[in-house]
Amino acid sequence: MNETTKFIFITGGVCSSLGKGISTASLGMLLEGHGYTLSVIKMDPYINIDPGTMSPFQHGEVYVTEDGAETDLDLGYYERFTNAKLTKKNSVSTGQIYHEVITRERRGDYLGKTVQVIPHITNEIKKRLFDVANSEDIDFLLVEIGGTVGDIESIPFIEAIRQIRHELGRSRVLNVHLTLVPSITVAGEQKSKPTQHSVKELMELGIIPDILLCRSNRVLPEDIRSKISLFCNLPEENVISAVDIMDSIYEIPDMLHDNGYDTTVLKHFGLKTGALKIPEWKKFITTLRNPKKKVRIAVVGKYISLQDAYRSIYEALIHGAVANDAELDIVRIDSEEDIEKKYKGNAKALFTKEKINGILIPGGFGNRGVEGKIAAIHFARNEGIPLFGICLGLQTTVIEFARNVCGIKDANSREFNPTTKNPVISLLEEQEIVEYKGGTMRLGAYQCNFLEGSKVHAIYKQPSAMERHRHRFEVTLKFRSTLEENGLICSGINPQTGLVEVIELGTHPWFICTQYHPEFKSKPTKPHPLFADFIRASINVKK
């Protein structure tokens, strides 16, 4: 086993959605700023193998890694904030753990023993952690435990990290617990009791936290920190204020650094702190705070009501806006409720009213809201408004173009109409019979070759790229010649299969759609070129 890697375990208490993912990603970025290397693991207590079959309304977006793992959206924060290269090993669920243990039991690997939570389930959890620690030359492994302490589902994970602390000792393991310190509105008084109860519950499971990260609406006063320190059995300087940031999540690392989070972590391990060196991040934050222009982008989707359903899209748009010194205003439009029902399919009336500079059509599954997306695409194509289609956005664009330009009035996707006579979008032949939905998609990074002289080739400034996919349906190749004869340019092609990866219109100010998800590779300090150029074009159209 790697004898130098240090483990940081992050748990949460009191309530969910306190920001464990963001705080974990922020700590990773700060540790890298001190010159250390790291990897990050998310451990989710749900019994699903992965979130791939979950509704976005249930779980938010599904983030896809380079090797095709469908993971929790927190891995998106980890990759955006740090230089860690994440794979399927960095996303662990209860379902994966039990599936592996039961498979071994059926094979007879346990030689007739009674298979139990301890040691078999906890050993498998520990194995997953040590596998990552041993496979990479890293200084730190950050491990976020999903859910809230006290949930019955997360107990095996808590027990596993307790055992690791017992085995490796304090010098190699740090326990961080994120809690809530609420304020009573009328009195304006902060209350430490929820944090005390949460720590008590954690201690009953055998873990004494080394650092408390206290989410609050303002910096904790000295008397509250002192009280939490006394009752939770840790030094006062290890009670860190995690103050609400209303403007941007990208300001959270600065706030945590100012409150001593990263230096306290390094002090625990007896490591040097030195000056924090994050010049590119500082430059990004400065530009974010001082925009010189404004741009208004409509995101037309079917899961708009949930903030996290298109999380990577929203973040990539921010990265692109900052790259153009612009303040971003995102208008979230529900393709079914707003366009189909409220405006009766009249997208022009809606977009003109909202004064939209650019339109983005994100991915999704199922036929709900599809006609609203098609109406939005029709408006963008006719009115010269920049259009960026992603995954389902490309597929609905092909349908709109086939219907209204190629004259194939009944053009559709097999997904929306299995009996359509003109399926311009269809399943891959080998996927025609799909019994199990999980793992049947084209997932992860695939090569895309760009057509020389095309807009997408000019934007990337390179002949090809590896981009991440998550979809079942493709442009039906027998319709490609018809689409191209009518002016649609298939400017990105997968060299192994000939499948269409990118389409564009040469006569339009900016009209590009991708079968892949470029948002997964965008970072604050390195915005994806397509998002940066889409925002540039939207600003120019506004002018």
**Active-site option among 257, 378, 517, 528:** 517
Handedness of CA 143, 146, 151, 152 (dihedral sign): negative
Identify residue 20 by its one-letter amino acid code: K
Bridging pattern class, strands 423-427 and 473-475: antiparallel
Residue 480 · residue 490 · CB < 8 Å: yes
**Active-site option among 391, 406, 448, 490:** 391
Residue 317 · residue 531 · CB < 8 Å: yes
Residue 221 · residue 241 · CB < 8 Å: no
Identify residue 186 by its one-letter amino acid code: V
In 3D space, the residue among 220, 147, 212, 149 whose CA is nearest the CA of residue 182 turns out to be 220
d(C-alpha 87, C-alpha 109), whole Å: 27
Q: In the structure encoding, which two tokens stand for residue 379, read together?
A: 């408006």
Q: What are the φ and ψ backbone dihedral angles of 471, each rounded to 5 degrees?
A: -165, 160
Q: CB-hemisphere CA count at 13 Å for 455?
A: 22
Task: Tell me which residue has tokens 């259009």.
Answer: 387
Residue 466 · residue 68 · CB < 8 Å: no
d(C-alpha 114, C-alpha 178), whole Å: 36
In 3D space, the residue among 310, 311, 59, 267 whose CA is nearest the CA of residue 171 turns out to be 267
Q: In the structure encoding, which two tokens stand for residue 510, read together?
A: 């900016």
Distances from the Cα of 141 to the Cα of 66, 74, 134, 486, angstroms:
19, 15, 10, 53
What SS3 state is found at 78? helix
**Active-site option among 415, 474, 501, 519:** 519
d(C-alpha 346, C-alpha 143), whole Å: 48
Q: In the structure encoding, which two tokens stand for residue 139, read together?
A: 């200084």
Respond yes or no: is residue 519 known to be catalytic: yes
d(C-alpha 121, C-alpha 127), whole Å: 10
DSSP state of 32: H
d(C-alpha 187, C-alpha 207), whole Å: 33
Angle 56-323-540 from CA coordinates, rounded to 5°: 95
DSSP state of 67: T
* Chain centroid, CA 135 distance in Å: 24
Q: In the structure encoding, which two tokens stand for residue 272, read together?
A: 């040097």
Q: In the structure encoding, which two tokens stand for residue 533, read together?
A: 């150029």
Residue 183 · residue 190 · CB < 8 Å: yes
Respond yes or no: is residue 391 known to be catalytic: yes
Q: Which residues are catalytic?
A: 391, 517, 519
